[in-house]
Amino acid sequence: MILIPDVKRKSIGVFGLGLSGIATCEALAASGAKVFSYDENRAARDKTLDTEYRCEHPKDWPWQELEAVVVSPGVPLTHPKPHTIVRKARQENVPVIGDTELFARAVNALEPHERPRVIGVTGSNGKSTTTALIGHILKQAGEDVYVGGNIGEAVLSLPAFESDAVYVLELSSFQLDLTHSLRLDAAVFLNLSPDHIDRHGSVDGYLAAKRRIFMNQTAADLAVVGVDDDYGQSVSTRLMANTGTEIRLISAGSALGRGVYALDDKLYYNLDGKTAIAGDLTGARSLRGVHNFQNVAAAVAVCERFGVAPSLAIKSSQRFEGLPHRLEEVGRNGKVLFINDSKATNADATARALTAFNDIFWIAGGKAKEGGVTSLLPMMDRVRTAYLIGDASADFEKQLSDTVNVVICGDLEKAVEAANRDALKSDAKSPVVLLSPACASYDQFKNFETRGNAFREFVSTLSVGNGEAA
């Protein structure tokens, strides 16, 4: 647990009692603060009944005494409109922050020789994989590494600071919006595609939140920027003009005069004026696809700065097991391979999955996001049939039917059965049934994890084709 400095006997509100909220309450209470908590969900409130931070409605909080209100990342700050708790805090002149800001304050209170190294990763797509991969490579190199934030453990649940340890944090735009004093030894901006517009008001607002990852960096720190989209290029240009931080560019398809990049399934690096090959990327089965090559490039750029040779980083990447719901192999039925990419909740993420395979029997649909799947039409030559589920089915059929064969299945179980049957009967040598929905899950599932787990379960119960379902 991370203890928070300078909060003893001070009053702090915590709104939202998910994993990060409870961890925040625990850390603040252990640090001597007086904690006032609340959640709009009754079940979440009940979890605090036997604690020293038992829930009280915010109307009963001592607002004149509060030092801050720590809100969960999902609480809207500005769009579509500020949440009630945010409006109340602003009326009372009480700062609104997140748990990552408390982590930052705890780091900043340390003497320089006590300070651990902290790495942060953000981006519209790939940040979880990159965060986990950096942690994996550094652990393989013998470092004491703790991974958390928007992935795995809540940031304040991580072990107490050790001066020789590395903390690797996945940081969402929501978390960055609530963070002001975090300084990262290495900050990674992977990419950006239009998303979360309802929360940030515009793409510019979303980009501004992501750029906050570089806030407070010094000349001693490292900034890693993906330049495969226009947004990343603008970020790199801005950083080069306005900071003295070392900047390493990364790409998954373009040669760079300086940086780390992938071409023809190989990773190259030029960090000292000389280009060299780090290694072959095809050996990393859990990191298929061009988008994952960008993730590897980012990890190599960071880990080289932390003393890991690029060639060793590539070897470690080949031993990386990957993350659930991100191009995850979940089974095989005869010649048919089943891939769970439930985390692909927008078209840009699905595009990355579609480029990783051929002869795809594609399961898509759910709660559609702005833009639908029209951007994926150029990739339909890789798709044999699209099996549509959920609320988006009718719209996706209109967008796709002139380009690819479409079957409306309604629900995921029927889609898996149909895709499996058609893939087995096809003339494709190595067909792939790919769940990559390009949609949110909450029309039929609680979240993308639940959707991915259902897919895995349906695959496990398939009848045997020319082999055994795994």
pLDDT of the chain, 470 residues: tens digit per residue: 999 999 999 999 999 999 999 999 999 999 999 999 999 999 999 999 999 999 999 999 999 999 999 999 999 999 999 999 999 999 999 999 999 999 999 999 999 999 999 999 999 888 999 999 999 999 999 999 999 999 989 999 999 999 999 999 999 999 999 999 999 999 999 999 877 777 888 999 999 999 999 999 999 999 999 999 999 999 999 999 887 899 999 999 999 999 999 999 999 999 978 889 999 999 888 898 888 999 999 999 999 999 999 999 999 999 998 899 999 999 999 999 999 999 999 898 899 899 999 999 999 999 998 889 999 999 999 999 999 999 999 999 999 999 999 999 999 999 999 999 999 999 999 999 999 999 999 999 999 999 999 999 999 998 544 444 44
Strand ranges for 123-212 from DSSP E? 144-149, 165-170, 186-189
Which of 261, 267, 276, 309 minimizes the C-alpha distance to 137?
309
Q: How many helices (H) and strands (E) does the chain have?
A: 15, 21
Query: How far is the C-alpha of 179 from the C-alpha of 381, rounded, in Å?
Result: 44
Residue 150 tokens read as 């928007």
Q: Read off the amino acid at residue 178.
A: L
Say if residues 419 and 385 touch (Cβ distance below 8 Å). Answer: yes
- Partners of 12 in the β-ladder: 35, 68
Sole residue written with tokens 């399961």: 363
- Token pair belonging to 406: 């479409």
- What pLDDT was estimated at residue 197? 77
Phi, psi (rounded to 5 degrees) for 249: -85, 150
Alpha-carbon gap, residue 229 to 192, rounded angstroms = 7
| Distance set, CA 116 to CA 144, 178, 302 (Å) | 10, 22, 16
* 345 neighbors 326 (Cβ within 8 angstroms): no
Which residues make Cβ contacts (< 8 Å) with residue 401, sequence separation at least 6? none
Residue 386 pairs in a beta bridge with 362, 406
Specify the pLDDT at position 463: 56
Paired tokens of 101: 């800001």
Identity of the residue numbered 365: G
In angstroms, rounded to a whole number, what is the distance separating the alpha carbons of residues 377 and 397? Answer: 12
DSSP H helices in 31-73: 42-46
Q: Return the pLDDT at 10.
A: 97
Q: Is the pTM of this model over 0.85?
A: yes
Give the number of other CB atoms < 10 A from CB of residue 253.
Answer: 12
Cα angle value 223/225/231 (rounded, 5°): 130
Q: What is the DSSP letter of 105?
A: H
